[in-house]
Amino acid sequence: MGRRCLGLLLALVLLAGLLPVHAEAAGGPKLAAVTFDDGPGPYTGQLLDELEKRGVQVTFFMQGQNASRYPDIVRRAYEGGHQIASHTYSHPQLTKLSDKDVLGELAGAAGALDRAIGTHGIYMLRPPYGSVDARVLSVIGVPAILWSVDTRDWESRNADAIYRHIVNDTRDGSILLLHDIHAASIPGALRGIDALLSQGYELVTVSELLRRRGLEAAPGARYASAPGTTTLPAIAPPAITAEAAPGGQRVTLSAEAGTTVYYTTDGSRPTSRSQVYAAPFLLEESGTVRAFAAYDLNGGRGPAAEQKLEIPRVEAPVITLEGESAVISAAAGEVRYTLDGTAPTADAPLYEGPVPLPAGTLLQAIAAASGCGNSPVVSLLRSQRGNLFTDVRPEAWYYQAVDEMVERGLLSTEDGAFSPERAATRRELVTVLYRLAGESESEGALSFPDVKREDTAAFAWAVERGILSGFDDGTLRPEGPLTREQLVAVLYRMQMKKSAVSEESGLYGFEDWGDIHSYAWDAMDWAVSSGVLRGVSGTRLAPGGLVTRAQLASLLLRWQGLGE
Ligand code: NI
């Protein structure tokens, strides 16, 4: 080396002396990565609980054979933002294995971790006993992670000793070695972690330690620590912003370039399986958006952001029929409507005045305002027979029966609502039958403790004719529901001529024939053979199932048809 070169070297050394050597000296953040080997085991769940309380992410170098034993723990650690890494399948000394056997150990561990997590991952390797050489490094295909702080927890099995190692030996960029298969390692690690946090350390996963120190986690590279003069920022929680849009609020999630954002809108904790953010989305009702950004789902997740969004819903419009046209009025917002059976959206025709509504037409409408959720859809069906329904659609299986029963005044609507799915009551059945019978006056002056005066005549008629009987306590329970077999039994008693019960009852064709009460057997047999009652499926009659108003309408119509 000539004089010139020597002088240049001297200058460089002097220059280097002026630069800060340690991040600490520069006041930069102090980073350290806590790692646990050999698990998971019986203490790992408790460790995860405690780490979660502290918001600390660590790295687990797991043995494949133990991951297979505790797959739920592996998955929980993964979703908790910890890094899942490999400690081989069965813990051999890799330098003593052939290339093929080294790869077999790694593939076995990766397979066990993949199965537990449910996805294909890349797992950094910690060679058992730290035993690795150039040959092993050349075949593993992932970085080998060693350590700079050995807590010797496997040797001491003493929480105080482990704590002292952590506090005394940790420096900026340290990778700490612990083992979560020893009971004493858990309290020792946690006390050490608390001490490091109070000293201002940021505790991160190994992959985050390398990323933030600008180091590439290259295959075959070996790392034992990552001190550095420069530190990239931690992964920030995504910024959640919302602005008024038609039908709700348009939500934008922004995060650092290179990250992927995972989010939920129902307030639940976002996971690797949550929605991936691609573009601003419309939130149509109040909810809590939670989101995290990740460079890597495995140990590269940032903290979650959370924002509650209040999105008022526009009040539903009101539809009335005036002459031949429907008039729609809304308390707020604009009204959109359809006449073709499709649900109205923000693109549907704008209501500007009365809409002609010929018989057989279904009108549906919503009220909408920017920044608010659309109102519920309201509808008005003007039926073929001229009835008005707010809750019956023309394609409903019961539409024709309901339309006919309402037209004949046997069943009624309330402000246009038929309530087809509501359970029919005993009073409704008795009232229909009474009307069908011509509303003949009852002879006696029966009264029942729980029947309203206006219903007394109908109930007295039903009781006198033996169609309906009271309960043991003297009540008739007019608002009580009807089971299918109770309804059929009443209709059977109404029949003037009772058909002879067939010898080979068709009821045995249903697998639940044993559920039929004996009092209702003949009635059920008659109802099924005459077609009044049909099975709820090909194999079930559901005799104890409740009768809805829609079912009552269609069953009564079929029963009426028998007499014609
Ligand atoms: Ni080990």
Asked if pLDDT for residue 305 goes beyond 50, the answer is yes
d(CA 533, CA 257): 65
- Sheet with 334-338: list strands edge to edge: 334-338, 361-368, 378-382, 388-389
How far is the centre of ligand 1, averaged over its atoms, from the C-alpha of 181 (Å)?
10
pLDDT score at 205: 98
The confidence score (pLDDT) of residue 549 equals 96
Task: Give the pLDDT confidence of 390-420 residue by residue, as tens digits.
Answer: 999 999 999 999 999 999 999 999 999 999 9
* Main-chain dihedrals φ then ψ at residue 425, nearest 5 degrees: -105, 165
pLDDT at 4: 40
Query: What is the pLDDT, as a whole number, of residue 562?
Result: 61
Distance (Å) from CA 129 to ligand 1 centroid? 6
Residue 351 has pLDDT above 90, yes or no: yes
pLDDT at 209 over 90: yes
pLDDT band at 561 (very low <50, low <70, confident <90, very high): confident
Stretch 544-550: mean pLDDT, rounded? 95
Residues whose CB falls within 8 Å of the CB of residue 200, separated by 6 or more in sequence, listed in order: 29, 30
What local confidence, expressed as pLDDT, does residue 502 receive?
57
Tell me how far the alpha carbon of residue 271 lies from the centroid of ligand 1, in angstroms.
29
Residues 46-64: what's their mean pLDDT?
98
User: What are the angstrom distances between the C-alpha of 446 and each of 211, 457, 460, 463?
Assistant: 89, 8, 6, 9
- Whole-prediction pTM value? 0.72
State the average pLDDT over residues 192-199. Answer: 98
Average pLDDT over residues 296-309: 97
pLDDT of residue 497: 57
Per the model's pLDDT, the better-predicted residue between 380 and 25 turns out to be 380
pLDDT score of 19: 41
SS3 string, 110-178, reads HHHHHHHHCCCCCCCECCHHHCCCHHHHHHHCCCEECCCEECCHHHHCCHHHHHHHHHHHCCCCEEEEE
Lowest mean pLDDT, pick from 63-67, 138-142, 243-247, 276-280: 243-247
Say yes or no to pLDDT of 287 above 80. yes
What pLDDT score was predicted for residue 398?
Answer: 95
CA of 212 to the centre of ligand 1 (A): 27
The pLDDT of residue 465 is 84
- Tell me the C-alpha distance between 468 and 448, whole Å: 13
Res. 501: pLDDT tops 80: no
Bigger pLDDT: 505 vs 7: 505
- Residues lining ion ligand 1 (Cβ < 5 A) are 37-38, 128
> In the chain, what percentage of residues exceed pLDDT 90?
77
How far, in Å, CA of 169 to CA of 149, rounded? 6
Measure 308 CA to ligand 1 centroid, in angstroms: 45
Q: String of b and e for 146-182 (b: at least 16 CB within 10 Å)?
A: bbbbebebbebeebebbbbbbeeebebbbbbbbbbbb
Residues labelled catalytic = 37, 179
The yes-or-no verdict on residue 429 having pLDDT over 60 is yes
Q: What is the pLDDT of residues 10-35, one digit of tens each?
A: 444 344 434 433 444 446 899 999 99
Decide if pLDDT at 516 tops 70: yes
Return the SS3 of 471.
Answer: coil
Residue 322 has what pLDDT? 94
For 16, 316, 486, the CA distances from 355, given in Å and listed in that order, are 84, 18, 45
The per-residue pLDDT for 16 is 40
For ligand 1, the distance from its centroid to the CA atom of residue 126, given in whole angstroms, is 8
**Banded pLDDT at 229 (limits 50, 70, 90):** confident
Mean pLDDT of 349-361: 95
Q: What does the mean pLDDT of the chain come to?
A: 91
Tens-digit pLDDT profile for residues 307-324: 999 999 999 999 999 999
**pLDDT score at 531:** 87
